[in-house]
Homo-oligomer: A and B are copies of this chain.
Amino acid sequence: MFVGGPLQKISPDVVIGEDTYVADFVNLYGCKIGRNCKIGTFVEIQKNAVVGDRCKISSHTFVCEGVIIEDEVFVGHGVVFINDRRPKAATAGGALQNESDWQVRPTRIKKGASIGSGAVIMCDVTIGENALVGAGAVVTKDVPAGAVVVGNPSRVLVKE
């Protein structure tokens, strides 16, 4: 059973499954995390993000609203997800944007996929089952099941 410590920020609305380990220096709010996961140091997971069972979310990674991570997914260190293709700080009228000013775009990481460290995952993307995103790849379109992708922008190196 999970209990937040003095070096963790976990809002009361976070749902965390049994046997899941959460490191210190994390910021979690409004998200759902499954059973038997490991959540590393310096991780932020936003509201409405979902992490399945037996996942690893490694240190320095940011999981934003709109991201659904299925079971048994490995997310490396320093991975960044995205939910807005044209981010702006302010509205045309000069006010700081708030949630009503943009629409969250979805991302789905399917069962058993692995995302290498330092990868950047654009929104409107699905990464297929057991796919491998190479370290440092910038993923801008769907990755087929079982494929290996690398590069910026990422391209398929190995098909299933």
How many copies of this chain sit in the oligomeric assembly?
A: 3
A64: which B residues are within 8 A, CB to CB? 77
Contacts of A135 in B (CB 8 A): 80, 82, 120, 122, 138
Residue of B27, B55, B73, B76 touching A59 (CB-CB under 8 A): B27
User: In whole angstroms, how far apart are the Cα atoms of A76 and B44 in the complex?
Assistant: 14
Residues on B with beta carbons closer than 8 Å to the beta carbon of A112: 88-90
Among B56, B88, B118, B150, point to the contact of A80 (Cβ < 8 A): B118
- The answer to whether residues A88 and B59 also contact, given A27-B25, A54-B94 and a CB cut-off of 8 A, is no
Q: Does A3 reach chain B (CB closer than 8 Å)?
A: no
Q: Which residues of A contact B (CB under 8 A)?
A: 7, 9, 23-25, 27, 36-38, 40-42, 44, 54-56, 59-60, 62, 64, 71-74, 76-78, 80, 82, 86-90, 94-97, 112, 114, 116-118, 120, 122, 132, 135-136, 138, 150-153
